[in-house]
């Protein structure tokens, strides 16, 4: 079950979407215009936003722009709804950072497929980010041990090497996955988060005095590889 915000000025369409999502046991909240929708999104942080393009107060593009400027809402998956099938409109939405585009009228299966796809991708990104953060915290703890207890240095550094061996391929995989997303603010935000995670690990290693001299040749190679990964994000 996910918390989903539906922003749609047509009452019947809004109610139909809410009913379909309710049937899938999602927690659905609706807003009748872009202004109210943007306010609700910033206060309650939904896991997915479905938003009409042409609306009073704020149109869909303006809602997306507003939320993209807020770090708390910038990564929320965003699906546009529109009565227009113009390819230029679709390109504009995707360039603005939208994750998907549904042209009205759409079927139940089309709606649910779009929703499930975006929620799945969001979960993948969140899981990867969480793992990298946890790994960075673990590395920090190991470095603290190195600095506090030189007698146990060799063992801790050996463990640090093993962690790096696991970390680098996963960072590369996540970067490749996110690089395949449509260009836009949301993809750039995801890549920035992974870059920060990579920077964290390099920063942690840099806290060790003469880190490349302390590490074994294999560990030093891993350290250099991590720096290469970071520079290519």
State the Rg of the chain over Cα: 22
Provide the residue ranges of all domains of the chain, joining segments of one domain with +: 3-106, 123-231
Instruction: Extract the tokens encoding 12.
Output: 């019947």
| Residue 92: C-alpha distances to residues 2, 21, 178 (Å) | 27, 27, 20
CA dist 165 and 226 (Å) reads 10
Query: What pLDDT shows up at residue 9?
Result: 93
Q: What is the pLDDT of residues 24-52, one digit of tens each?
A: 999 999 999 999 999 999 999 999 999 99
Query: What pLDDT shows up at residue 57?
Result: 80
Bridge partners (DSSP) of residue 218 are none
Q: What is the pLDDT along the chain (233 residues), one digit of tens a residue?
A: 889 999 999 999 999 999 999 999 999 999 999 999 999 999 999 999 999 988 888 899 899 989 988 888 888 888 988 876 666 666 666 666 677 888 888 899 999 999 998 888 777 777 777 777 787 788 777 777 666 655 555 666 666 666 665 666 666 666 666 666 666 656 666 667 667 766 666 665 555 555 555 454 545 555 555 554 455 55
Query: What pLDDT shows up at residue 71?
Result: 83
Q: Of 3.40.309.10, 3.40.50.2300, 3.40.50.620, 3.30.420.40, which CATH number belongs to 3-106?
A: 3.40.50.2300
Query: What pLDDT shows up at residue 142?
Result: 73
Query: What pLDDT shows up at residue 105?
Result: 87
Looking at residue 38, the DSSP 8-state letter turns out to be: H
CA dist 178 and 192 (Å) reads 10
The answer to whether the CB of 99 falls within 8 A of the CB of 71 is no
Query: What pLDDT shows up at residue 125?
Result: 72
The answer to whether the CB of 219 falls within 8 A of the CB of 160 is yes
């Amino acid at each position: 079950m996910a918390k989903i915000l539906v922003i749609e000025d047509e009452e019947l369409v809004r109610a139909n979407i809410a009913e379909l999502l309710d049937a899938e046991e999602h927690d659905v909240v609706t807003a009748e215009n872009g202004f109210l929708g943007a306010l609700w999104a910033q206060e309650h942080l939904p896991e997915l936003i479905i938003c009409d393009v042409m609306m009073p107060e704020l149109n869909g593009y303006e809602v997306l722009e507003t939320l993209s400027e807020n770090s708390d809402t910038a990564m929320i998956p965003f699906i546009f709804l529109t009565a227009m099938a113009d390819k230029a409109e679709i390109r504009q939405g995707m360039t603005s950072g939208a994750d998907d585009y549904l042209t009205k009228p759409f079927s139940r299966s089309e709606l649910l497929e779009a929703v499930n796809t975006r929620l799945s991708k969001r979960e993948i990104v969140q899981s990867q980010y969480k793992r990298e953060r946890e790994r960075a915290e673990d590395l920090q703890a190991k470095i603290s041990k190195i600095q506090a207890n030189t007698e146990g240095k060799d063992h801790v550094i050996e463990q640090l090497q093993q962690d790096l061996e696991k970390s680098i391929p996963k960072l590369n995989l996540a970067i490749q996955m996110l690089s395949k997303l449509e260009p836009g603010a949301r993809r750039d935000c995801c890549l920035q988060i992974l870059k920060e995670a990579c920077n964290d690990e390099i920063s942690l290693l840099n806290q060790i005095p003469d880190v490349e001299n302390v590490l074994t040749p294999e560990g030093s190679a891993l350290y250099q590889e991590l720096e290469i990964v970071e520079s290519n994000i």
